[in-house]
Amino acid sequence: MKWLFRLWQDLNRTLARPVVRRLLSALILLWLCDCLVYFLTETHWHHAVGYGSAWQARVKAQLLLFSATFGITLLFGLFLKPLLQLPANPPRLPASY
């Protein structure tokens, strides 16, 4: 388990360098631009061939499913957070119980 902690520390130390942070930011920006170009291309193509309403329905359904899943996960996280604060060694019941 110590190796995992050391790996995490090394990763944090590496990401703290300005060059690495800029490179990572540039890669993320390129990835987001690629996703945007794909989405716009698909939207224009579907509208050009007459399937614009089907494409809109698909995008709306995906957004709805993502939002619902995110909301349910967030609610579970909020409800289960008190479980993380339980003591590691819970008090035991007396033998007479």
Find how far residue 97's CA is from the centre of its chain: 46
pLDDT at residue 38, rounded to an integer: 93
**Alpha helix (H) ranges present in the chain?**
2-15, 18-48, 52-84
Q: Is 52 exposed, middle or buried (0-12, 13-18, 19+ CB in 10 A)?
A: middle
What the block records as the tokens of 96 is 């007479």
In this prediction the pTM is 0.57
* Gap between the Cα atoms of 52 and 46, Å rounded: 5
Reading the chain (97 residues) residue by residue, the pLDDT tens digits are: 788 778 888 777 777 788 878 888 899 999 999 999 999 999 999 999 999 999 999 999 999 999 999 999 999 888 887 777 777 777 788 887 6
